Structures are given as structure tokens and as C-alpha cells.
Structure 1
Amino acid sequence: MIEVVRKVNLGRALDTLYSLFPQEFDFHPQSWFLPQQFAEFCDAARRLQEDKDQKTVFIVKPDEGSQGDGIYIIQEPREYLFNNGKHIVQTYIHNPMLLEGLKFDFRIYVVVASLEPLEVYVCHEGLARFCTVPYQFPTNKNLHEAYMHLTNYSLNKRSAGYLHTESDMDGSKRTVSSVLRSLRERGHDVERIWCQIEMVVAKTMIAIAPELKVEYRAQLSRGGPSCFQILGFDILLTDTGQPMLLEVNANPSLRIDFEQEVAPGIHEYIHSPVDEEIKRPLVLDTLILAAPRHKTLKKRMSKTSYGIWIPHSGSSLFPLHPLLITISLQVYPRKYGTDFEWLTVLNRAAEIFLNCLGVRGSLRMGSTGFRTFTRKCNLVNPACGLTNASFDIMFIDLQRRWDHSNDKGASGLCFQGFLEAFFSLACKRFPSESSLDAIEKLLDFSE
């Protein structure tokens, strides 16, 4: 899970779905993966500067960074600091929604109770994290003001303006529900905002589920132990109320205290009522959801043509009394499974990738597996430029291009690299079709 939701991998997964469903996956800032895409970043930055009256600003985040470490803001590609690490660079969201003049974001807690079938719950309470310096549009004079532009608690707690309170209505850390109440009082449609947040969560999980399936099968065989995970979705609202996904944290803090200097050089851990209000019921719900399910679970579900499980009308996936689940709502598949079924097309590609790996437990497809895939799909078509030699060249080229994602030195093509090959072959094999239709046709050929 940690590898899949790292900033670069998450960005690639969302970009892949955006290429197929641009209107459904427009909740993530435009991103580039550096240093590999530095040339593309320079070209895009130049176009953005030409098309807009205001100067475009970018935010640089280290791929494996956490707690705001290593994040900085730039106005020109030449300001990017090359080093040995990988980074994601995104267009900076310059029009955030403000409350009391301060920028804030939401930490939304999400429970993945099952991967096969995918079950996702959203906790209806979360943290709202505030900056500690009033917001201004980023300029040369304030780009360095981390307390103005970055909402990370680990940064802002060191600010002289950070306010610890026992109330959830003020302070630098509040509950999401208290902030939504404040926004409602200011005339915002908070029901629409929350519904959009739920959809962002559901679509993001749909985007990463295929690669999670690959990782899961590499570690555990079918019928093995089940797993669950608590995720932290960091979501920023624009001034129009549109939720924008900043990142996903695979290990969100579940602490209900904070460190405070009570005397020079003397620190104590102080209880945080706001954190406890949110995290204690979150953990309780998670343990209930992770408990062994009734053996007749599948009898209450139907499998769709896309390979996802949908509960029968009126049935409950969870056999315990619903009052035991206090703050979590199943957003997938119960609430949005039917509506978003058509977005799960890449689940089928993951099955093809797994079937062609050849080596159990492997996460990378070798040249033999790639040839097996092209043979099963009957892809040879010289009129379209599809020959065995071209397949070999494509595999070598893609393996070299995707080698930057190979942290463990394993040979072969990763799942995202395989998807790039699959998309390219689909468009060549069915040149008269749209990208999505071509991909679905190739999937039909492959299964």
C-alpha cells in the first residue's frame, strides 16, 4: 500500500484514469514527475505562463516525503533543485477556500476493509488543519512562508501563531464537521461539498485498486488472510468549494496527544480532545469492519460484467447491528458502485498482467511474459506495424523508461509500464476507435 500511494505512483495512477475519463478525474492538480519529465515540465510551464495573466506557481514535493519535509514553491522550472531523489511537481492551487483569512485542508479518514472485493468506507468526521499566517497569493516575497502556504500540522505546530484549544470550533486543528458548519453559515452548500469529497475518495480508490491487486496477489494467495488499511486523504477546497486531492497518506497518525514545551527544555505530552473525538471511534469502527465476516457474505452480492461485487438491493454487507458502526459510511460499492462501475475498466488489465507474469510473487513482467501477452491477444498485424520484432523493441524501450520506478533492482516491466504498452497497442490495433473503445476491445481480445 505504501508504495502505491506514494506521491509519484499515485499521480501516475490518477493521470492514467484522467487520460480515459478526463471529466471524472479532474480533482488532482496537473503533475509532472521529476527529474524524468523535466523537459515536459519546462514545455508545459512555458505554455501556462503564456496562457494566463497571472504568473503560474508550482509546488515541489519529494516522493517519499512526509510531514511537509522537503516541500517548496517555485515560479520557474529553473528553480527546481536537482538531487538524487524523485519529486512530483504540481500546479499550486492559488485560490483555496479561506476561513478567517487562513488556508486550511481536510484530513479525511478512509478505511479499506477489503480489496477483493473492494470495500471502502469514509469516516464522516475528520481533521481540519489550518495554516497559522493569513493567506496571500504566492509572490517572490512570500514563497518561503511555509506557515502561510502549507497546512501540515507537523510544520505549523512550531509556529508562534499555532493555537491549541479543547474546542472543535476554533484553534489551528478542528473537526471537519465544525468547519462545514462554519461554511454553511457563510452560504456554502456543504452537502454538495461532502458528496464530492466522497466521490473523490471512491474514484481515487478505483484508480489505485488495480495496482493494489497486483501487490496483494504478489504477497498473498487467494483465500489467504484478509487485510485492511486506514488511509488519510488530504483534500483542499478551492474558493468555489471544489475538493482537490493533495495526497494520500498510507499511515496517518492516530495519536490523541501532542507534545508541548511546558518550561525551557522540558516537554510534556498533552491530551488532545479534538484528536480523540475523531480517532477513537475511527479505530473502533475499523476493528469492527476488519472482524471476520459471515461465511455467506458472497450470497448477498452479485458480480457485474466489470468484475466488481455489488450488494443485492436491501442487503447488508456487514452482518452486525448497524448501530455498531458509528461514524463510517461505505462509499464503495454500496453508495457509488453502480454509478462508477464503468470506471473500473483497468481491473481487467490487472488480471491480464497477473496471468502473464509467469513467476508467482513477482511484480514485474519479463520479456517472455510480454510475448505471451501479445500472442494471447493475437496482436500480430503487419499492416498496423505490429510484429514480433516491434513488440520486443517496445518492451525494451518501456522497461528502460520505467526503470526509474524500480527501487529494488528487479528486472522487467512494472504494472504502470504495462498499462502504457497496453494503451499504445490498443490504439495501433484499432486505430479508428477512441482510446477508451480501443482499450475495451483489446481487453475483450485478451480475456
Structure 2
Amino acid sequence: MGCKISTEFCAEHPVTSPNKVHPSELATTSPPIKTVEFINPDLLVDDKPIFQKVSVITKEPKEKEKVVTRRVSLQAEPKKNLPLPLTRSSSLSSIMENRPPSGISNSSYTRLQRPKNSALRRFTIDTSRAKSNQFVVSLCSKKIGIIEYPEGRPDKQPCDVYWHNVVLSDMNKIVTSPHSKVNKFPGMTELAKKISLTHAISSMQKLFPDEYAFYPKSWFLPAHLNDFHAYFRKAQAMGKTEMWFIVKPDEGAQGTGIYLISNPSQIRDTEQQQLVQEYVANPMLMGDKLKFDFRVYGVIKSINPLSIYVAREGMARFCTEKYEKPDSSNFKNLYAHLTNYSLNKSNESYVHSNTLQDQTKGSKRLLSTVFHQLESRGVKTKRLWHDIKLILVKTTLAMLPEIMLHYEHHFHDSPGPQCFQIMGFDVMIKDDGTPILLEVNAAPSLTADHIVPYPGRSLTEGGQRVRSIVDEVIKMPLVRDTLLLVLGLMDEEYQTTNSLKGETKSLDDFQAMKQRRKPHLSEIFPTRYGAHSGHLLFLDKAMYIYMQFVQLRNNVNITGAGLKQFVRKCNLADIIPIVQVDAKVAEISYYFTGDRKTSANGLPFHAFLMFLFFIAEKKFSLETDLLSKVQRLLSFCDMSLRHYGVRSARLRRAEVDSNVGSVEIYMLPSRMARSRSTRYGRKENGMDPNNNSNSFSHLPRISERFQL
């Protein structure tokens, strides 16, 4: 390999493993290496620069341009800083320890010089509010080369990234720079709760029933109690005798408060806010007959432009007792019906995994492991993975209008940072291979350890915290690639060696392995499934109208007065007279809150949609489906508002580069103009027909523009 290794070192460290080859024994066809000397200003002896020997390889590329690869020997004296960063392996051992993978000698560990733009730019991260996430985030930041401030920056300057464990109400006071990134969207905790998620998906089910059939039929109590009774009686009349439902408290987490029922009369408290769903009684099982589900991780990179990613690796969670269809004798055995880790870990049958080999039969397994097991049983896993990714896209698009609303509300008086978020999607597979969405977790656990009981004791008597190999393999690359993604370093990390194709002869085994690495995250919208699901990006049009009549500085609900103004300005008084608006607001408010006294607080967005659906049904009754009726109503409202001189500055904008086929969809393009005018101290005057700035200097060259 061209490096000099002392005979004493070889004698003291003989190569005994057949899998480990000493660099001096490797044959190479590389050009001869010439040793040269240069002055390294970073190495000083008695305050004087010294000469350092390096090996330089030169070869003639196809373009007849001299290419120089610097190879620095790692036999440098201790405590001498080598100026070039180590390349990193994607293997777990390289993530957890500062050493090359097994089978590769330290002497062949190559240092590659990064491009100047990132070599000179040191990114910073504030983890002062990361709490339980801090260990994994700190470790990943260190490996990437990000400067961490666990107590916040002492000089009060903004960091590039802020990592919080929960959504903070004072985020706009903590993250003040529009160029910073923060790992939470305002309001996301509420939006991902069971009832809020159900409202969002239910609105889409009314418009796109076939596209959103992946979510179980649901009822929100107490408001929908009569509807639930009516559904049960109708099903009985049709001959259904075996029906099971699962009851989930809205505020519940980690499986607490969940129970099964077979009759509405078994609901314990009909006045409590809770969700009732049809129970998936026919889950897919494998040879061990244990029920399982998947935790699939998605990343919303941003909404300006909209970009959604999925992690290639996820988690499979197994019950700890064999599954049988629920009946009066076993429906209380939650160890057989619920897959929640927090519940099953206390069962003596829970199987912890100490190695990757153990996890093939453990209670917590890698998603890829279970996919291989399913494939061996004849399941078409490629199709299954395709359907799961579509669920992630469709669910995120259903939540998107309210994500936009809360962002505008929280940062109403500032440009706002770039928000991103790691999401956990819990998916169960039916016995026919159909994936079903169970729920969404806005703050999935990012810890990489777990508690195991002491020998001979149960977990309730205490235990010790140990390393979790499954969590490490999943969460370390997830957090690392998320940081690389939002900082714009993903291409540099995974394509640096691809740009050295003309120099592959000078790369050692480690570099050859790195060339085969793939990103842990892959974009699924708009690039992969934009054409398939782009038409579902629909309710933002209603959101733009909604925000015209909401006082975003103070609230995210539309008041009765705002709704009356909407009816008046959109010329809808012939459909619903102004005097009847208050009664309709009270009716819809109860349907969404279950409380007849809260109508004074106004209607949330999906309640406003219910109001729109009511008007659309009456005004455009000749249309065949609700989607067509709502489309015509939104167009009618848009024309009416233009007559009053009202134009939304937030209309969605698509930027298309026809040369490379990439599309960037800006959900709040006025934010781009605001950030730009703030940054340069001036405001752009050029506006497009939708009152949006025509010029975005920081975007790639656009050859075609159109308004969606």
C-alpha cells in the first residue's frame, strides 16, 4: 500500500486472523509512491514549523489533468493533529468507536480532503434541551464534526441546528435566526394525537375514500357515541356477530388506558375524550404466532420546499404471548394484543437481544430482518414496502395544512427557522398483506439502550440499563443522516468517493467499501411519489382561504365573526343566512370537541372544512362527488375574494427545473420573500399574479414555472 511499517511493530502485532491482511502483503497496481516533504504550519516544535513527510501519488487521468491524492501515514507521533478529517464507515462499530471496521488495518486508513466550502465551515448544534435524545444526537454530531453546545452558546450567537426533545411553546424566542434549523414543528405534538390525526385523515377520506382506506374506521367520543351505536346496530342487522373494537384515550401513550370491547355498552366512561376504532383481528403472523407491528421512521425535511424522507431501516415490535382472535376469555390479555414495548418489557417472556444474531428471534427486531422472514414465507415485500411508503406520504399530506397553520401562527412576527422533524409511523400488516396505519408518534424514542431485569428478578423490582444493539443500528444512522440532510451535507457524505472514479486504483479497501454505501434516508415526496400522490396536495387551498379570516397573531381557530365575514365576502349568504351561522358553528363544534360550551372558542381547521362540505353539498348539488363540489366551491370563493381585492400571499408555488426534472413545492412562498428581504435589508417589488415574489436568487436556475 506504500506505507512504511517498522519490523518491531510487525513482530509485536502479528496478523493471526485469516480475514485480516497486513497492508504490506497487499498487491497493488498503483503508480509508485514518491515521498516528499512539506511544511505543516499546524505542527510546531519550539514554536517553529517542521517538515512532515507525505506520500504523493500522481497519475494521468483521461482529461490529461494532473490529479493529486494526499495519503498521510498514521504513524505520526502522538498528540500531533492531522489536518484532514477521517472518512467514516456506515458500520455500527465505526459509528460507536473511533476506529476502522474489523478486517481493515489502521495503517490503510485514508484521509480524504473535503471540499473547501465544508472544510472551512464548522456547523454548530445546541442540545441544551435535547434531554433523553442528547446521547445519540451528541455522538452523531461528534462523528460528523459538528460543534456541540450542551449548555447553549455562551456568546449567545445562533446555532445552525437546535435539537429539542419536545415542542416548546417559546421556540420563537429560543430560535431567532431564520437560517437556523430546529427539529420540531410548532403544534406537531397536538396534531399527532389520536383524535387530531383521526380528524385530519377523516377529512381526506371524505374527499379521497379509496386513497385513505389504510386507516381503520374510527369514532371520537363522546361526540360520536350515537354514531357508534348506530353502526353497531346496523352491523348486527347485517349478520355480523363477532365485532371487536379498541378504545384509546386521546392523552394516552405507551399503551396506557387501552382496552378491547365487543359492544358499545362496555365503554367504561362515555364522557371521557377517547377514540374507538375497529380492531384489526386478522393480523399477519409468522411461525411463532406472535402479533407484531412496524415502527417506520419518516423525516419531514421542510415545508418550504416540501420534502419528505423515509428511513431504510425501522423496527418490528412483537407481542410476548401467542395471538388468538379476541373472545370473552382472552380479550383482556394485552400481552397478546398490544405490541407496545413499554407494556411487553415487563412480561417475563420478553426476549432482549444482545447481538444482531439474537434479534432474529427477539421481541424487538430490525425491519429488514422481518422483511427477510416474511419474504421466505412468500410475502411480496417490495410491494409491501411500496405501500408503506405511500402511507407515510398520504398521512403527512393530510397533516400538512395544519402544520402550515401552526407555523404561521407561531412565527407570525418573524421570518422563522427551517423546521424539520423525525416521525414514527406505526403500521400493522393484515393477513392478506395489506398495511394499516395504527397511529403516528411525533416524538419517537431516540434512546439507544434499554433496561433489563436483574438475574432472578422481575423488571418491577428494578434492573440495569444496557446497550440495545437493535436501537443503535436503527437510530444512530437515522439521527446522523437527518443532521447531514438538513445541513446540506448528504451528497458530500455519500458521493465524495463516487467523484473519484478515475482514482480507484489509489483507494484502499476501506475506500472501496465506502463507495458502496447508501444513504439511510431516501426522499419519497415529491421526487418518488409526487406523480402518484400529488393530487392529494389539495386541502392547502382551503387553508389559504381559512388563514384570510383567522387572527393568526392570537389564535389558530376561526371565530364566529370570522366565519360570518367569510360567508359575506364569498357571497354564500344565499346558502346559509348570516343569522344561522352561530347555530351551525355550535353544531359542528360539538361534533369535534364533544363539549357544547366551547363554540365560543371558534372552529379548528377541520371543523371549518366540515362547514365547507356542508355549503358545497347545497350549492353544487348536481356534481357527482364531494371532491368535485369542494373544488368548485374553492374556485368560487377565490373569485369572490378577488372581487374584494383579497389575494393570498401564501399560495402554493412550484419551481420546476426541466433540465434535471426536479420539482420544489413551496407551501409558504411568502416566507421565502420575507426571509430574503430581512436578510438583505430591502423588499423585492417584483410580484407574480399571486402576490408572490418573482425572484429567488438562492434557488437553482428555473427554466419553467407554473402555479399549482
TM-score, structure 2 normalization? 0.57
Give the structure 2 partner of residue 371 of structure 1: 564
Q: How does 1:163-312 map to 2 (within 5 A)?
A: 163-165=351-353, 166-167=355-356, 168-221=359-412, 223-263=415-455, 264=457, 265-291=461-487
Tell me the CA shift for residue 22 of structure 1. 0.9
2: CA distance between counterparts of 1:89 and 1:400? 17
Matching of residue 338 in structure 1 with residue 338 in structure 2 = no
Asked if structure 2 preserves the Cα contact closer than 8 Å seen for 1:49 and 1:56, the reply is no
Give the structure 2 partner of residue 301 of structure 1: none
2: CA distance between counterparts of 1:134 and 1:432? 53
1:135 aligns with one of 319, 323, 339: 323
Asked if structure 2 preserves the Cα contact closer than 8 Å seen for 1:133 and 1:147, the reply is yes
Q: Secondary structure at 1:213's aligned position in 2?
A: helix
Q: Percent identity?
A: 38
Q: Which runs of 5+ in 2 are unaligned?
A: 1-187, 496-516, 639-708
Matching of residue 428 in structure 1 with residue 618 in structure 2 = yes
2: CA distance between counterparts of 1:74 and 1:439? 37
Tell me the CA shift for residue 422 of structure 1. 0.8
2: CA distance between counterparts of 1:372 and 1:352? 12
Which amino acid in the other structure matches residue 118 of structure 1?
A: L
Tell me the CA shift for residue 287 of structure 1. 1.2
Matching of residue 27 in structure 1 with residue 244 in structure 2 = no
Give the structure 2 partner of residue 158 of structure 1: 346
Give the structure 2 partner of residue 6 of structure 1: 193
Tell me the CA shift for residue 195 of structure 1. 0.2
Which amino acid in the other structure matches residue 223 of structure 1?
A: P
Give the structure 2 partner of residue 311 of structure 1: none
Deviations 1:89-113 (A, max 9, x none): 1111010001221110000011111
Q: Which runs of 5+ in 1 are unaligned?
A: 295-317
Residues 152-161 or 390-399, more deviating: 390-399
Which amino acid in the other structure matches residue 290 of structure 1?
A: V
Q: Relative to 1, partners in 2 of residues 1:367 and 1:278: Cα closer, same or farther, differing over 3 Å? A: same
1: CA distance between counterparts of 2:520 and 2:402? 28
Q: Secondary structure at 1:422's aligned position in 2?
A: helix
2: CA distance between counterparts of 1:42 and 1:84? 15
1:352 aligns with one of 545, 549, 559: 545
Tell me the CA shift for residue 13 of structure 1. 1.0
Asked if structure 2 preserves the Cα contact closer than 8 Å seen for 1:377 and 1:442, the reply is no
Tell me the CA shift for residue 116 of structure 1. 3.2
Asked if structure 2 preserves the Cα contact closer than 8 Å seen for 1:364 and 1:410, the reply is no
Matching of residue 418 in structure 1 with residue 611 in structure 2 = no
Q: Secondary structure at 2:463's aligned position in 1?
A: strand
2: CA distance between counterparts of 1:290 and 1:332? 16
Q: Secondary structure at 2:608's aligned position in 1?
A: helix
Give the structure 2 partner of residue 303 of structure 1: none
Q: Relative to 1, partners in 2 of residues 1:270 and 1:419: Cα closer, same or farther, differing over 3 Å? A: same
Q: Relative to 1, partners in 2 of residues 1:401 and 1:245: Cα closer, same or farther, differing over 3 Å? A: closer
Q: Secondary structure at 1:224's aligned position in 2?
A: coil
Structure whose CA Rg is larger: 2
2: CA distance between counterparts of 1:404 and 1:20? 24
Give the structure 2 partner of residue 117 of structure 1: 305
Q: Relative to 1, partners in 2 of residues 1:443 and 1:46: Cα closer, same or farther, differing over 3 Å? A: same
Tell me the CA shift for residue 389 of structure 1. 2.2
2: CA distance between counterparts of 1:54 and 1:399? 34
Give the structure 2 partner of residue 45 of structure 1: 232
2: CA distance between counterparts of 1:406 and 1:109? 38
Q: Relative to 1, partners in 2 of residues 1:409 and 1:41: Cα closer, same or farther, differing over 3 Å? A: closer
1:362 aligns with one of 555, 566, 574: 555
2: CA distance between counterparts of 1:443 and 1:267? 59
Give the structure 1 partner of residue 334 of structure 2: 146
CA RMSD in angstroms comes to 2.2
Deviations 1:312-355 (A, max 9, x none): xxxxxx76455597211111111112221211211111111111
Tell me the CA shift for residue 289 of structure 1. 2.1
Q: Secondary structure at 1:11's aligned position in 2?
A: helix
1: CA distance between counterparts of 2:258 and 2:462? 29
Q: Secondary structure at 1:184's aligned position in 2?
A: helix
Which amino acid in the other structure matches residue 229 of structure 1?
A: Q
Which amino acid in the other structure matches residue 363 of structure 1?
A: V
Q: Relative to 1, partners in 2 of residues 1:396 and 1:67: Cα closer, same or farther, differing over 3 Å? A: closer
Tell me the CA shift for residue 410 of structure 1. 7.2
| Bigger relative contact order (CA 8 A; separation at least 6) | 1
Q: Secondary structure at 1:111's aligned position in 2?
A: strand
Which amino acid in the other structure matches residue 157 of structure 1?
A: K
Asked if structure 1 preserves the Cα contact closer than 8 Å seen for 2:427 and 2:438, the reply is yes
Q: Secondary structure at 2:484's aligned position in 1?
A: helix
Q: Relative to 1, partners in 2 of residues 1:266 and 1:368: Cα closer, same or farther, differing over 3 Å? A: closer
Residues 99-108 or 50-59, more deviating: 50-59
Deviations 1:291-311 (A, max 9, x none): 2x69xxxxxxxxxxxxxxxxx
Tell me the CA shift for residue 64 of structure 1. 1.2
Deviations 1:126-149 (A, max 9, x none): 010001111101000000111100
2:284 aligns with one of 97, 118, 130: 97
2: CA distance between counterparts of 1:184 and 1:401? 44
Deviations 1:131-186 (A, max 9, x none): 11111010000001111000001111111111012223221000000000011111
Tell me the CA shift for residue 262 of structure 1. 1.7
Which amino acid in the other structure matches residue 161 of structure 1?
A: S
Asked if structure 1 preserves the Cα contact closer than 8 Å seen for 2:585 and 2:599, the reply is no
Q: Secondary structure at 1:425's aligned position in 2?
A: helix
Residues 63-72 or 334-343, more deviating: 334-343
Give the structure 2 partner of residue 308 of structure 1: none
Q: Relative to 1, partners in 2 of residues 1:179 and 1:376: Cα closer, same or farther, differing over 3 Å? A: same
Deviations 1:51-73 (A, max 9, x none): 35550100001111111000000
Which amino acid in the other structure matches residue 36 of structure 1?
A: A
Residues 357-366 or 68-77, more deviating: 357-366
Asked if structure 1 preserves the Cα contact closer than 8 Å seen for 2:316 and 2:367, the reply is yes
1: CA distance between counterparts of 2:321 and 2:236? 28
2: CA distance between counterparts of 1:46 and 1:94? 20
Q: Relative to 1, partners in 2 of residues 1:266 and 1:27: Cα closer, same or farther, differing over 3 Å? A: closer
Which amino acid in the other structure matches residue 127 of structure 1?
A: M
Asked if structure 1 preserves the Cα contact closer than 8 Å seen for 2:586 and 2:599, the reply is no
1: CA distance between counterparts of 2:296 and 2:482? 14
1:386 aligns with one of 564, 569, 576: 576
2:635 aligns with one of 432, 444, 447: 444
